[in-house]
Chains A and B, each alone.
Chain A
């Protein structure tokens, strides 16, 4: 019998509830949530090699849930033939959204994953150091890809593709304006071409000015990397925003905006597709993945587009820059990291693997032509992996792309806070394009905000 809420034994209801709460919290702390506890994950640890003859077991690898997953699945029969005792499951997930929480919590961690380069160093401490395994391949790998995967002197990612910046142009629009495409070897020449085109068609705004702060910042970084061979930070982690390269790129963008030579829209939005498929946009210094727009979304202008290396900032300077890319990572908490490595080694560094991915396959009969391998020996002009594009007048993108991939300056480093920088540099760049900020303002304010809010607070 209970009276006045007190248990006869002397054990009060409050005490009992407190006990139960403590037990519950203790259970949670010790069990389900223990994986989240700070300090349970140490810094990167090295992944050693495994003998191919003894490799056995099963592993799960994550990919973006798109055609690329299907392409990589075509490699499985060849891989199984080489490693008959290894069973791989390739799963399509929203990697950028799901991998970071999986790595942080340690729950549901895959054995390996596809990951965009911008995101890798932010998760470096959760990843295996693959330096030792990569040592025999580093000389045959495009240097900038090694740089973006390097963290405190260790390699935490296995480079997959390069996304070189290229110059796309409408051959019909240029010839109508009597502009020789061969003359577009400097950014000043590109501005002059845009002026000529606009002179003939007042509605034309030949150069796309990206409206998304993240992509616009990435575009700016391509122009900067092309000039100075670094990213937003140098090898010592020092900000490079207040430099001539940034000022020169920003001044050029401002000229495009101020003279009405730029079309403001988001990449691949319905607005931009209409502008590029019409006669508004006709000069696009952009990544090789611009190919997919030409192939799958343009209607009227298909066959009129052509591609060349980027103009140079200085005579004899680099004709390309970093414009994206992805790699493979192996989580430190992976159950079978060695099996993931075997697959990545096969996919990236064996001729069978990279030909299977980039070359003609059941998913892409003409091969993937929106990226290029990061393996130098695969970037052979004499042995194209994919076929010329009809949308580019059957021009060989391979010829242009391989040159550009090898021309991307090394030394590109992506800080762990890169994506957050769009809040400052990306937003200020938008203001510059909208005529609301000067070049000096963008440089000073972005550098100051990034230094205070990101660099000083990063560990």
Chain B
């Protein structure tokens, strides 16, 4: 009778798995488990204490039939429109100019653009509130000198979203620039030389060479920006608290409002709806990008 050889994992394999185990443990504890737990919460009525009541799809149907939920998505969509196209086009243009032109003070310019990104948001927001204050803000003071109207930048439904978008542009354009700079700087110079030999001007080169060659980066940036805006919370919270009349309550702030009120089930359902939405939007962006490449 043949002796059955006892199979064992080679020693070096165990060492390998031991070394990567911390990642899996942390992932399980702080990502996988909370996600599964949140999914369970989204089907329950639980306020942080007592027994969890399973209520099926109730939280989802409540949100999907609630005007406030859709209004928060609408506010986020407007924010996206006000921020992402402007930021994307602006970042490529500036990155291209910084890379290719013979601008003086390039380094100073880079520092100026990136400085708001590395400055704490709360400090930036306080400065911004002072600048755009209805009564004492610098902007309205200058408008007053020019006999212009006194605008409620952060206190009227017309201006609250554009003013918050302006703040986000000011704060995060440095990040966009870093990404686009790395992409534009990766374009081989001989492509530009060939373009010049063909007689292309600066705008033609930008549209026909720079933009197509950084398309993947643009796609990546749009997906990341979409994620960021779907989660946007701090900016409206600090500047307007979602007002006036909830007109600047973004989907992230709306989600926070449920969680801060210990309405954890609805908050969890809201977060999963956002996950699905962002996934679909990202998928759409990737598909569009891929079809262009095909």
Contacts and interface: CB of A to CB of B under 8 A. Distances in A.
Interface residues of A, number: 54
Contacts of B33: 25, 28-29, 33
Of the candidates B21, B133, B135, B241, the one having the most CB atoms from chain A within 10 angstroms of its own CB is B135
B10 interface: yes
A39 B28 contact: no
A39 B29 contact: no
B243 A100 contact: no
B110 to A, nearest CB: 35
Contacts of B47: 122, 125, 416, 459
Contacts of B244: 427, 430, 434
B262 A213 contact: no
Nearest to B20: A20
B66 A453 contact: yes
Contact of A36 (B10, B37, B135, B136): B37
Interface in A22-68: 23-25, 27-29, 32-33, 36, 38-39, 41-43
A103 B45 contact: no
A10 interface: yes
Contact of A9 (B9, B27, B48): B9
Contact of B136 (A24, A32, A211, A270): A270
Contacts of B49: 41-43, 103-104, 123, 125-126
Contacts of A382: none
B155 interface: yes
A9 B8 contact: yes
Interface in A183-230: 211-214
Given A28-B29, A38-B44, A420-B257, A7 B13 contact: yes
Contact of B68 (A2, A212, A270, A453): A453
A38 B55 CA distance: 14
B241 A103 contact: no
Interface in B134-158: 134-136, 155
Given A9-B7, A104-B262, A431 B17 contact: no
A8 B5 CA distance: 11
Contact of A24 (B29, B45, B46, B241): B29
Contacts of B264: 104
A417 interface: yes
Given A8-B7, A11-B9, A20-B17, A430 B243 contact: yes
A238 B148 CA distance: 49
Given A125-B47, A271-B136, A39 B7 contact: no
Interface string B235-260: 00000011111100100000001001
Contact of B155 (A27, A211, A459): A211
A38 B29 contact: no
A88 B203 CA distance: 71
B32 interface: yes
Nearest to A213: B243
Interface string A235-278: 00000000000000000000000000000110000110010000
A16 B136 CA distance: 64
A25 B34 CA distance: 10
A123 B66 contact: no
Contacts of B245: 427-428, 430-431
Interface residues on B, range: 35 or more
A416 B45 CA distance: 15
B134 A39 contact: no
Interface string B39-64: 00100111111111100000000100
B230 interface: no
B133 A1 contact: no
A21 interface: yes
Interface in A421-440: 423, 427-428, 430-431, 434
A361 interface: no
A27 B24 CA distance: 12
A7 B48 contact: no
Contacts of A123: 48-49, 262
Contacts of A211: 155
Contacts of B66: 453
Given A32-B29, A420-B257, A38 B46 contact: yes
A427 B32 CA distance: 38
Given A9-B7, A43-B50, A453-B68, A25 B13 contact: no
B48 A103 contact: yes
Contacts of A20: 17, 21, 24-25
B24 A21 contact: yes
A184 B219 CA distance: 66
A419 interface: yes
B261 interface: yes
26 contacts: A11-B9, A16-B17, A20-B24, A24-B25, A33-B29, A38-B51, A39-B50, A39-B51, A43-B50, A103-B49, A104-B49, A122-B261, A123-B49, A123-B262, A125-B50, A271-B135, A271-B136, A274-B135, A416-B47, A417-B261, A423-B242, A423-B257, A430-B243, A431-B245, A457-B263, A457-B266
Interface of A: 1-2, 7-11, 16-17, 20-21, 23-25, 27-29, 32-33, 36, 38-39, 41-43, 100, 103-104, 122-123, 125-126, 211-214, 264-265, 270-271, 274, 416-417, 419-420, 423, 427-428, 430-431, 434, 453, 457, 459
Given A21-B28, A25-B29, A39-B51, 8 more contacts: A9-B7, A9-B9, A27-B28, A104-B48, A214-B241, A427-B245, A427-B246, A428-B245
